[in-house]
Structure formats: C-alpha cells, structure tokens
Chain A
C-alpha cells in the first residue's frame, strides 16, 4: 500500500548543480502537486498538474520545472540549485478535482543546497 512515493529522501547539492525529485502515486489519482515547506511558512505550492499532460504554476515556481511523465509520475527539476531552495519538498496527489478531495502526501525530500 505505497500511496505517494518520493525519491530521494535526502539530498545535498552544491550551488549550481541540478537534480530531479521523483514522485509516483499508485492510487490512480488525476491531480498531482509539488509543495515546499520552510520553517514558519507552512507549505507553498510550486507546481501542480490537474491531469496527465497539463501543468500549472503555483505560488513559488521560479527556479523549478516539472514534468508529468504519465498519470502516475510527476517530477520536479532544479536546473541550477541555489541556497534559497534548501527546503523540504512534498509531492501530493488527489483523486478528483472536487473541493472535498483531500491531498495525499509523500513523506518528503529534505534538500540542502550549500
């Protein structure tokens, strides 16, 4: 019963390096999301994908790109990492585009950029 799986769990990058955070869900959900969590700021939406083939910017998209590879997978790419991108990243999915559909979250990726 995996739910939403994120890899890696931890990552340290040097400024300027690139990396891709992977996310996969096995719940047949249509919508997928990437959030970042910083102390004192709650969770902020980076990008989301309402359905396979579509992606949209959230509140804090600068410095990131996303790919909805198929219905199951939604990846987040940092092309040139900056210390300001040090954060915990959460992927989430939801079943339906209706108000009462909760988001199901992965366990997070803790990223440090030095």
Chain B
C-alpha cells in the first residue's frame, strides 16, 4: 500500500494566487513526521516545511503553510501569493521510524504570469 499519496500530477496557478497541493498518508504509528520538498527544474531537492504528528498547530514557513488534518491523514501544502519561481515539482514525504523518509510521487506546479 502507498504510504504517501499525491493525487495531483499537475497543478496550474496564476501568479499572486494561493494554491493547495494535496498529500494523504497511511500509517498506524502515533509518532511520525511529515515533510514537503521542492524540486525545481535544476534538479536539487529543497526542504520546505515540517509537521510533527504531535504538533497542535499547523506549520508555517514564510509563504508556505501545512494544512494538517490528522484524523483525515492529510498534510496539504498551501503556497500563498504564488511566484513564477514556485514552478517546480513538489514532494510530500513521511518519516515513521526515525530513519527512512518515504516520498510520494510528486505534483508538478506551474505558475503562470
């Protein structure tokens, strides 16, 4: 079974608008961590934001926020005020056992002027 599911292969958004990238996860552990990474066309993997399973508040980092709904096992990334430089692949990932990070298949975001 897929541990991390990203159902949107591609998303389009206009500059300055907000966009939500979906991520659902599957775990029976009580303690786990959720991560989002950005991969621009240049190929590097850039860490964006982290949410712990026991964190009561949704994580925020600048224009990035994580809409964490534990009961629904979802950890959606919200990008506010999109910029052209936000065009990239975005990966959701989960860590259950203090070691491995398991990734979803990614969502390609295209920001248009």
Task: Please report A residues at the B interface, Cβ cutoff 8 Å.
Answer: 31, 33, 35, 40-45, 48, 50, 56, 58-59, 88, 90, 92, 97-100, 102-105, 107-108
Residues of B within 8 A of A59 (CB): 102
Name the distance in Å between B87's Cβ and chain A's nearest Cβ: 18
Name the distance in Å between B79's Cβ and chain A's nearest Cβ: 18
The answer for the CA separation of A108 and B28 in the assembled complex, in Å, is 32
Evaluate whether A48 and B33 lie within 8 angstroms (CB atoms) in the complex, with A90-B45, A108-B44 already known: no
Are A42 and B44 neighbours in the complex by a CB distance under 8 Å? no
Are B100 and A45 neighbours in the complex by a CB distance under 8 Å? yes
User: Which of the residues A42, A99, A108 comes within 8 Å of B104, measured between beta carbons?
Assistant: A42
User: Which of the residues B4, B31, B98, B102 comes within 8 Å of A45, measured between beta carbons?
Assistant: B102
Name the distance in Å between B31's Cβ and chain A's nearest Cβ: 7
User: Which of the residues A43, A50, A104, A108 comes within 8 Å of B103, measured between beta carbons?
Assistant: A43
The answer for the CA separation of A55 and B53 in the assembled complex, in Å, is 27
Residues of B within 8 A of A41 (CB): 105
Which of B31, B52, B102 is most buried by chain A, counting CB atoms within 10 A of its CB? B102
The 10 closest A-B pairs by CB, nearest first: A99-B33, A105-B45, A42-B103, A102-B47, A43-B103, A42-B105, A97-B98, A107-B44, A108-B43, A100-B50
Which of B32, B33, B98 is most buried by chain A, counting CB atoms within 10 A of its CB? B98
